[in-house]
Each structure stands twice: as C-alpha cells, then as structure tokens.
C-alpha cells in the first residue's frame, strides 16, 4: 500500500529499492504485479541477483563490475578480468536485464572514497566505459562537478557544484550513447565482442554492432604507455574517430600506442 500511495499521489515512475536482496523475492514479485496494474513502472534493485530480473526488477546494480574497475585502477586486476566478467554476466543474467554501470555512488563516496581517490587518473576512462559497455550508466553525487570530497553519510553535507567542470564531458557521453543504437541497453542495444590485441592484459578493445551502427572502443587500462597491434585476419578497417571526425584505420600490420589510461572511441557502419 505504501508503494501504491506514491504512484497514485505523486505519479512516480518507479522505485530504487535499497538493499533489495534482504527482502524476500516473493514480496517483490507480488508487489511488481500489483503495482503495474496501477501504472507501468521502472524498478531498480540495489542488489545483484539474477532472480530479481525475472518478474520484479528491470535493472540491478553491477557491483562486481564496479569493484573490478576499482581493482584495475589499483593495479590488482587487468583488462582480461574485465573481459571475463562480461562472459560470466552474459551467462548469468537474461538478455533483457539492464545492469547499472557506475563509478561512484553515496556508499562508495562516504565509505571507500571519491572516484578520484579510488581511480585516480583513470576516472574518465572508466566513466567512458560505463557509457559504452553493455548496461545503463549512472551519474551520481557531483560527478558533473569533479567533486572530490567524501560526503558525511548521516548528516547534511552539501555538494559544491562550482562550475560543473565535468558537465560537458558527461553531456558528450550521453549524446554518444543516444545517437548510437549499438550502445543502447538490454535488447535494444548490441552485445559486446572483444577485439584481441598483442597486449590483452592492458588493452581492452571491443565493438558493438546493431543493424548498420558500429561503435568500437580501444582503451589502455594501465598507468603506463602501451604499444600494441590488433590480432585478426582480414583487410584494413576504416572507422571515424568520435568527436574529431577523422578517419581512423585499423590493420593487424599497424602498431598503435596509447598513453596511460588513454582511450579512443570509433564509429562506423556494418559491412
């Protein structure tokens, strides 16, 4: 009845349910069925349980992905661990499940540190990945302002929005995602296919294809410059570099160099 109240009285579009895994699944399944009779909703579980996606929830927190990103930034894991995560995720979760990608939230900020404490110079790289990997990106707690202070958890502690120094960065990522169907969520988007290189531990390269839309990402997930080549058989590929609109050619014969945490986003059409 409490959930119905806010739909009827405030016309809310859905709920983000805290610690959803601590409430019996039977309750959530029954609640969703009854709530949808009032109004179709979007439901987000602060949990990472497969069963939530069958009837009760549309989206869940990709906690494991978040922790892997933190570990890569600390040098404890590498690009192969990120690839392994997506293999496991595809095996566990249904295809229409939205997984929420994020680099910070209120819990992480207060208890484990800001994204700048946890990820250092890799912040923009992992933010970009949260927008281009399968899932749904979340912006939270002052990311648009490059807010770099832990917030008090149980007391009022305001964010200093300053000049919104990162707003343009996130606006561009949002536009990239909106304009490229391959990057959309769930069944509307495309699966990710990794592109192997001569340095798979450091370089995470992948592409997503939806109809004639192709997006390719090449990222150096290490604090050192890396030289590498692509490992595939076939002819040279021509793509367009995002933002610069320059032609970018990929060939197994060519060697590329990326600076620490540098990335390239490329756009193209299916052949």
> Which residue(s) pair with 61 in the sheet?
100
> What average pLDDT does range 164-174 have in this prediction?
98
Whether 148 and 20 share a structural domain = yes
> What average pLDDT does range 156-163 have in this prediction?
93
Tell me the pairing of strands 256-258 and 226-228: antiparallel
Query: What is the per-residue burial (b if ≥16 Cβ within 10 Å, else e) of 1-38?
Result: eeeeeebeeeeeebbebeebbeeeeeebeebbeebeee
Altogether, the residues listed in the chain come to a count of: 271
86: CATH:
3.20.20.80
What digits encode the pLDDT tens for the residues 70-82?
999 999 999 999 9
What digits encode the pLDDT tens for the residues 49-93?
999 999 999 999 999 999 999 999 999 999 999 999 999 999 999
Residue 271 has pLDDT above 80, yes or no: no
Cβ-based neighbours of 89, under 8 Å, separated by 6 or more? 62, 64, 65, 99, 134
Whether 163 and 207 share a structural domain = no
Query: SS3 of 92, please?
Result: helix
Whether 207 and 140 share a structural domain = no
User: Could you report how far apart the first and last alpha carbons of the chain are, in Å?
Assistant: 53
H/E stretch holding 240:
strand 237-241
Whether 246 and 122 share a structural domain = no
What digits encode the pLDDT tens for the residues 103-119?
999 999 999 999 999 99
Tell me the pairing of strands 263-269 and 237-241: antiparallel
**Residue 234 pLDDT:** 82
Read off the pLDDT band of 179 (50, 70, 90). Answer: very high
Whether 10 and 133 share a structural domain = yes
Can you give the residue range of the structural domain that contains 27? 2-188
Read off the pLDDT band of 135 (50, 70, 90). Answer: very high
How many structural domains are present in the chain?
2
Whether 44 and 101 share a structural domain = yes
> Is 210 within 8 Å of 184 (Cβ atoms)?
yes
What digits encode the pLDDT tens for the residues 7-61?
999 999 999 999 999 999 999 999 999 999 999 999 999 999 999 999 999 999 9
241: CATH:
2.60.40.1180
Q: Is the dihedral of CA 99, 128, 254, 208 positive or negative?
A: positive
Whether 79 and 9 share a structural domain = yes
Read off the pLDDT band of 127 (50, 70, 90). Answer: very high
CA geometry: angle 132, 136, 140, nearest 5 deg: 100
Whether 16 and 99 share a structural domain = yes
Residue 237 has pLDDT above 80, yes or no: yes
State how far the Cα of 90 lies from the Cα of 256, in Å rounded to an integer.
30
Count the Cβ atoms, other than its own, within 10 Å of residue 187.
11
Among 162, 188, 214, give the residue marking a domain's end.
Answer: 188
Whether 197 and 182 share a structural domain = no
Whether 113 and 174 share a structural domain = yes
Whether 72 and 145 share a structural domain = yes
Among 188, 218, 238, give the residue marking a domain's end.
Answer: 188
**Residue 160 pLDDT:** 92
Whether 165 and 209 share a structural domain = no
Predicted TM-score (pTM) of this structure: 0.96
DSSP single-letter state for residue 200? T
Among 188, 215, 231, give the residue marking a domain's end.
Answer: 188
Residue 241 has pLDDT above 90, yes or no: yes
DSSP output for 126-174: HHHHHHHSSSEE---TTGGGT--SPPPSSS------TT-TTHHHHHHHH
Q: What is the mean pLDDT of the chain?
A: 97
Q: What percent of the chain has pLDDT over 70?
A: 100
Query: Within a 13 Å sphere around the CA of 242, how many CA atoms are in the beta-carbon half?
Result: 21
**Residue 270 pLDDT:** 76
State how far the Cα of 76 lies from the Cα of 119, in Å rounded to an integer.
12
Tell me the pairing of strands 213-220 and 203-210: antiparallel
Burial of 129 (C-beta count, 10 Å sphere; 0-12/13-18/19+): buried
Token pair recorded at residue 216: 């390719």
């Amino acid at each position: 009845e409490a959930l119905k109240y806010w739909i009827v009285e405030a016309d809310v579009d859905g709920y983000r349910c805290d610690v959803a895994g601590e409430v019996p699944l039977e309750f959530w399944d029954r609640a969703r069925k009854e709530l949808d009779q009032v109004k179709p909703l979007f439901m987000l579980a602060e949990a990472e349980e497969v069963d939530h996606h069958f009837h009760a929830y549309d989206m869940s927190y990709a906690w494991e992905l978040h922790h892997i990103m933190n570990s890569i930034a600390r040098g404890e894991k590498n690009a192969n661990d990120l690839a392994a995560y997506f293999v496991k995720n595809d095996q566990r979760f249904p295809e229409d499940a939205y997984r929420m990608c994020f680099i910070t939230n209120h819990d992480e900020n207060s208890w484990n540190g800001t994204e700048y404490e946890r990820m250092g110079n890799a912040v923009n790289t992992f933010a970009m990945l949260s927008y281009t990997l399968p899932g749904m990106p979340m912006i939270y707690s002052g990311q648009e302002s490059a807010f770099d202070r832990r917030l008090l958890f149980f007391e009022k502690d305001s964010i200093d929005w300053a000049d919104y120094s990162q707003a343009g960065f996130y606006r561009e990522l949002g536009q990239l995602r909106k304009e490229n169907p391959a990057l959309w969520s769930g069944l509307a988007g495309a699966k990710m296919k990794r592109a192997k290189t001569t340095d798979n531990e450091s370089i995470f390269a992948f592409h997503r294809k939806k109809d004639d839309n192709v997006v390719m990402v090449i990222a150096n997930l290490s604090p050192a410059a890396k030289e590498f080549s692509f490992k595939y058989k076939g002819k040279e590929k021509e793509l367009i570099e995002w933002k610069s609109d320059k032609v970018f050619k990929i060939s197994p014969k060519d060697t590329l160099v990326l600076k620490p945490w540098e990335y390239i986003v490329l756009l193209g059409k299916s052949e």
